Amino acid sequence: MQYRKLGNTDIDVPLIGLGTMTWGEQNSLEQACEQMDYALSKGVNFFDAAEMYPVPPRAETAGATEQYIGHWLAQTVKRSEVTLATKVVGRADTRPDWNHIRGGSRLNRDHIRRAIEGSLERLQTDYVDLYQVHWPERATNFFGVRGYVHYPSADGIAIEETLDALSELVDEGLVKHVGISNEAPWGLMEYLRLASERGLAKVVSIQNVYNLLSRQFESGLAEMAIREQVGLLAYSPMAFGVLSGKYIGGQKPAGSRLELFERFARYGSVQSEAATEAYMAIADKHGMTLAQMSLAFVCQQPFVTSCLIGATNMQQLEENIAAVEVVLSKEVLAEIEAIHNQYPDPAP
């Protein structure tokens, strides 16, 4: 396993990180524990969770993922071997499907305090290594929103108050470092500005979507990630499993995410399918699986700190972790760029 520094900290995180959002919905406790055992044996000691997991978010399952991790930590006594990350829900008071979390989460001091206390209890630990804001308070571009419409009236809680509250958790030792997720360039800039001017905790990571079908991170945020040492924790590197190739031709294998949940339509466009088929042809030509090529592409980016994989079975997990050993040649990268120019960011 290869490792990279988490921002400007002294923490080394694996280039492949373990995503957990299916645990408690598509995966049982026993399966989650098996995944953690295997991942750690392969040097994948970075686990990423969230208070709202599993996904899709439901009142009946909220917090189950953290509970599974907490159970494993308690049984194995391996807390010191794991870099543990979780997230506080972003603004949710306008989303009925997320209203079960504190009656509609806001990113103010009270909600953040209650969120971390709940996460620590479920995780059965007294601190987390990385605590992230799951999505912004304000109305901006995240979760597949294209274009930008300015809504000053929807700004809500200021980033300054959010970062103040997060910094208190760092000062108290409940959180080692803080990060952001689903953020835009202005949001990252504001977090950095406030940290510099007011001596608050500096964000050390940004967790945004990044994959062959969605490369918007490269415009603006990639340069900031490198220059400001706020590396990308790339989520959805397999585009909901679309970049495994299993959905080509309209197929929906039984038990797959797209077969189970209609809400995951982000990569379902005609352009996305055409691009996926073209990428599949490159992988076939060079003797790789599409999954391996897709993950290797993400891992080779200089602005990526860790590529967060998720798996619902051990075969997927083994293949995904092994992708860290794949190095894409200049020829393959050139062919990938040709397809990207033909189908630029077909998914939001």
Distance CA 5, CA 319 (A): 24
**Sequence-distant (≥ 6) Cβ neighbours of residue 282 within 8 angstroms:** 293, 332, 335, 336, 339
- Please give the span between the terminal C-alpha atoms of the chain, in angstroms, as a whole number: 31
Residues forming beta bridges with residue 178, ordered by sequence position: 131, 203
Q: Which residue has tokens 């977090």?
A: 191
In angstroms and rounded to an integer, the radius of gyration of the C-alpha atoms of the chain is: 19
Q: Please, is 164 exposed, middle or buried when counting C-beta atoms within 10 Å of its C-beta (0-12, 13-18, 19+)?
A: middle
Q: Say which residue the tokens 């408690």 belong to.
A: 24
CB 24 within 8 A of CB 53: yes
Ranges of beta strands (E only) in the chain are: 3-5, 12-14, 16-19, 46-48, 83-88, 128-133, 175-181, 203-207, 231-234, 304-309
Residues listed for the chain:
348
Tokens representing residue 52 in the block = 């709202």
CA distance 157 to 298: 33
Residue 247 bears catalytic tag: no
- Catalytically annotated residue among 3, 38, 53, 148: 53
- Active site residue ranges: 53
